[in-house]
Amino acid sequence: MLPFYCGWINEDLRIFSQSVNKFIDQEVEPCYGEWERNKWVPRKLWNKLGKAGLLCVDIPEEYGGAGVGFKFVALIVDIFSRRGVGAISVGAMGVHGSIVAHYIVNMGTGDQKKNYLPKMALGEYVGAIAMTEPGAGSDLKNIKTSAKKTDGGYLINGSKIFISNGQHCDIVIVACKTDPAAGARGISLFIVEATAKGFVRGAKLEKLGLHCQDTSELFFEDVFVADDALLGPLDGGFIAMMQELPRERLVLAVGAQAACEGMLEITLDYVRERNAFGQRIADFQNTRFKLADLATRVRVQKAFVDQCILLQAEGRLDTATASMAKLHTTELQGIVADECLQLFGGYGYMTEYRIAREYADARAQRIYGGTSEIMKEIISRELIK
């Protein structure tokens, strides 16, 4: 099952897609319903993902990755999202592989790369990134978590919320204030190991959707980290986060686009088979016109997403363009989910139907990774500067 109308899919990617689909067939789909009901993915799945070569594929081979380009990441995210098991890719290919691993690749010391990346690629270590706080979401410059210098390192105090992989994580990249008077220029990043004294996992948070993807509060109570836990330059964390966000937002956009296509596929199958008033639902003009409108919007959008994938693969994707992709795809994902669920009628509201899960899962897309309102702010600033 490959993306439609994809000019960037070559033979290597086509072959690779077969192994991704096979993994989902064998290791994910048979268990996904149970995971959703239990609101939990077993840790062994991370090991299986690593063994199958689906984690951190685009980090250098010397650190355990496959050394391939961004297109392979996009393809994995696309297939998981298209097949309705996108909660797995949010934590594994998104946060773990596309965010945490790349912070370490791009900013880490040689020892940090050697210590963490091979274990992340194998699924032995799970990564998380802790930015958001109860009083600071998109406004990162106002975070309160502090890292105060002490002999041989830093003491971290504070709390974080809505942290993906918070329950499973072995390492967390934590955004802290190291110079409270400097605003955004006083933020630094630290790698905190989950075994550190004073690191406390809060309860797994109950969410509207993405039930099996764990999201947690994290607490830091006089957590000591050595000097070599600093990731990147002191007080350089905000700039680093801004540099990494375009990639994160494109990964979300790729998933949103694929989810739109996947929802259209299952809805088309349903309306062809389901009858009402003596004819197929597909034969009603309202159904045909709704689907024609959605399919047109999704296909036009795909051209832009594919262009963004190529720009990212070439290292030329800018912040405003990534923000446009994230804004448009996630907003359309919500529309497609709502319209497609309507065509399922009462069955669409039943959680045993995939479309109901897709509807619930889609809502977070307009919030995490930067809200739609923040995306508009970024885009508008670029337009008028």
The pLDDT tens digits for 19-59 are: 999 999 999 999 999 999 999 999 999 999 999 999 999 99
CA atoms of 2 and 75, how far apart (whole Å): 8
Task: Provide the CATH number for the domain around residue 110.
Answer: 1.10.540.10
pLDDT reported for residue 5: 62
Q: What is the mean pLDDT of residues 347-354?
A: 95
pLDDT at 7: 78
Report the distance separating Cα 319 and Cα 116, nearest Å: 28
The predicted pLDDT at position 4 comes to 55
Domain containing residue 153: CATH number: 2.40.110.10
pLDDT in tens, 150-185: 999 999 999 999 999 999 999 999 999 999 999 889
Query: Any idea which of 101-110, 121-130, 242-251 has the lowest mean pLDDT?
Result: 242-251
pLDDT in tens, 260-286: 999 999 999 999 999 999 999 999 999
What is the gyration radius of the CA atoms in the chain, in angstroms? Answer: 21
Query: pLDDT band at 358, cuts 50/70/90?
Result: very high
Cβ atoms of residues 121 and 56 within 8 Å: yes
C-alpha 213: how far from chain center: 11
- Label residue 2 by pLDDT band (50, 70, 90): very low
Same domain, 247 and 310: yes
- Give the pLDDT score at 137: 72
Q: Classify residue 306: in a domain, yes or no.
A: yes
What tens digit of pLDDT does each residue of 193-233 get?
999 999 999 989 999 999 999 999 999 999 999 999 999 99
> Do 224 and 99 share a structural domain?
no
Active site amino acids: 248
Q: Decide if 2 is inside a domain.
A: no
Q: Domain containing 46: what range? A: 11-122
- Give yes or no: residues 101 and 154 share one domain: no
Clarify whether residues 115 and 132 are in a common domain: no
Do the beta carbons of residue 63 and residue 110 sit within 8 Å? no
For the residues 89-101, what does the mean pLDDT come to?
A: 95
